[in-house]
Amino acid sequence: MAKIKIIICNPSGLHNIIKKYQNCSMGELTTEDIILQKKIAERIESLRLKTGLSQTDFAQKNHIDRQVINRWESVKNARGVTVYSIQKFCKMVNITLKDFFDDDSFNL
């Protein structure tokens, strides 16, 4: 209970705690994470291109914003793509999540 009082009463103390935990392993992407992120983005783009649709047309067909597709396909997106977004995309192109990752690019 005393720790909670210190955090509430001392915002700078809270700032130091947050700063300390920002340096945890979840804070920055490793090289392996970046490579995986790139492979996912490239796989999404490849599967969308197989539909023959532009980002705009694909987005309209699936009732989502074009910027969402752009973010999913971007290798520069710092946030990456969640597994939930990948699953949503898979439904749009009529494949399973397993099919999505069962690609040679993920086996290297």
Tokens of 108: 């290297």
Domain extents for the chain? Answer: 29-106
Q: What is the amino acid identity at position 53?
A: L
The CATH number that domain 29-106 falls under is: 1.10.260.40
**Residue % of the chain over a pLDDT of 70:** 74
Confidence of residue 107 (pLDDT cuts 50, 70, 90): confident
Quick one: pLDDT at residue 18? 42
pLDDT at 3 over 50: no
Give pLDDT, residue 80: 81
* Radius of gyration over every alpha carbon of the chain, rounded to an integer in angstroms: 19
pLDDT surpassing 90 at residue 61: yes
pLDDT at 59 over 60: yes
| pLDDT tens-digit series, residues 8-31 | 444 444 444 444 444 445 567 788
Asked if 103 and 96 touch (Cβ cutoff 8 Å), the reply is: no
Where does the pLDDT of residue 84 fall: very low under 50, low under 70, confident under 90, or very high at 90 and above? very high
Residue 17 in contact with residue 7, Cβ under 8 Å?
yes
The pLDDT value recorded for residue 29 is: 79
Q: Which residues of 67-81 are buried (b: 16+ CB within 10 A; e: fewer)?
A: ebbebbbbeeeeebb
